[in-house]
Chains A and B, each alone.
Chain A
């Protein structure tokens, strides 16, 4: 489980830096799929592991984008909000050891709500620090909303892709 998360960390950082950072959606949206790592950390992850790994996740992105601290600040805030959001969305199925955050165990609606709230928190912090003024507030808000939707879409896509893969593997066994 631990190894799986480390691999996910590295793969997401590489994917963000090598692929997503070079995409341009008319300059308005910036998909930050790397937060998918924070979304998918197991429920029983210790608080400090959650915070520290999110900090280094953000920092690794920052090193590649000349924005030292921005992604780190946003990721740490998102990690901090995670437990609150989880309590808010506590479903009928408790977050047991065997249950992992994802469409497979908790359903599409749960995953969409959970991810969207956290992604929105992350992007709000990120783009507010980036703009650092209220003068173009409308533009900042547009950037936040469009980017959040884009990131959410990519996260769901990733879920579906890997969910399918699990199924295929099981059928082979």
Chain B
């Protein structure tokens, strides 16, 4: 027994090193993708609070950019407003309409922290469980998609950015409606990659890539970016398309969290499919 203690004491530096390294690695593998742990949840209100005050301060410098983006969006909404149309038919009347039912609800949020320089980038938003935010909701900005919610605390939520190597979004080529998968390869934060797009699609540089809506997370038709370059990988049957984002992820300030009202119904339906 004495020898064991002597051994431990002699090698305490190495043993402590092994112990701490193992603890760190366990933390990495337990929490890396879905940070659903007690540790993160108990501290995210604390770290979130610090990051929020930073963003309040840093926000002052980017007010102009943020305002411009919002102004543009307001202008677009104004164009759709009833008052911007001239009535040509005086005989119309409104009935309670059952043909249209609301599918998506938008919650406005602002970005508390953001990164673009990692391979797995995340954002934190100032809306959480108390505001009705849940896991797997989509996050979009006025001029493009941002990501999806992966973790919620009472006042904040973590968003896996589109520029995250784990991110996969079902996307389509706007002109031909052909569907592919949109990923990010982890180098240039201004460009993403669309894969699995069949070869017969007539692609042109400058074509729009939009969301397909098949994942029931993002609403259909949200702009992701425009085709920057495309090629066929050796021996492949699909295009690899470089897509330039329409949005500068370094300048995301105000976003909308999108809640899909039909998602649960669709998922239940898919569960039934699996059972059969």
Decide: A51 and B40 in contact? CB cutoff 8 A.
no
Which single member of B14, B23, B25, B118 contacts A130 (CB below 8 Å)?
B118
Q: Is A21 an interface residue (CB 8 A)?
A: yes
> Is residue A64 contacting chain B, with contact meaning CB distance below 8 A?
yes
B14 / chain A contacts, CB cutoff of 8 Å? 80
Q: Which of A17, A67, A79, A80 makes the CB contact (< 8 A) with B32?
A: A67
Within 8 A of B (CB), among A79-127: 79-80, 83
B-side contacts of A136, CB under 8 Å: 185-186
List the B side residues contacting A67 at CB < 8 Å: 28, 32, 118, 120
Per a CB cutoff under 8 Å, which of B28, B39, B118, B186 touches A73?
Answer: B28
- Nearest chain-A residue to B22 (Cβ)? A73
- A28 CB–B CB distance under 8 Å: yes
Q: Is the CB of A22 within 8 A of B114?
A: yes
Cβ-defined contact, B27 with A72, below 8 A: yes
Which interface residue of A29, A52, A69 has the most chain B CB atoms within 10 A?
Answer: A69
Decide if B158 touches A66 in the complex (CB within 8 Å).
Answer: yes
B20 touches A52 (CB 8 A): yes
- Docked pose: A83 CA to B116 CA in angstroms: 35
| A25 partner residues in chain B, CB cutoff 8 A | 117
Given contacts A48-B16, A52-B20, are A65 and B115 in contact (CB under 8 A)?
yes
Q: Are A22 and B58 in contact (CB under 8 A)?
A: yes
Chain B contact residues: over half helix, strand or loop, or mixed? helix
Measured CB to CB, the closest approach of chain A to B264, in angstroms, equals: 27
- Nearest-neighbour CB distance to chain A for B168, whole angstroms, equals 16
Chain A interface size, under 10 / 10 to 19 / 20 to 34 / 35 or more: 35 or more
Does A43 make an interface contact (CB < 8 A)? Answer: no
- Asked if residues A48 and B27 are in contact (CB atoms below 8 Å), the reply is no
Question: Does A68 contact B39, Cβ atoms closer than 8 Å?
Answer: yes
Residue of B whose beta carbon sits closest to that of A51: B16
CB of A69 within 8 A of CB of B117, answer no
Residues of chain A lying within 8 A (CB to CB) of residue B47 = 63-64
Q: How does the 8 Å CB contact mask read for B23-48 relative to A, with 1 for contact and 0 for none?
A: 11111111110010101100100010
- Chain A residues with Cβ under 8 A from B188's Cβ? 26-27
Task: Check if A68 sits within 8 Å of B31, measured CB to CB.
Answer: yes
* Chain B residues within 8 Å of A70, by CB: 24, 28, 32
| Inter-subunit contact B26/A29 (CB<8 Å) | no
Asked if A10 is at the interface of the complex by the 8 Å CB criterion, the answer is: no
Cβ–Cβ < 8 Å partners of A55 in chain B: 20, 23-24
- Can you list 13 A-B pairs, Cβ within 8 angstroms, ordered by A? A17-B50, A27-B188, A51-B20, A64-B47, A67-B28, A68-B27, A68-B32, A69-B28, A70-B28, A76-B21, A80-B14, A131-B186, A139-B187
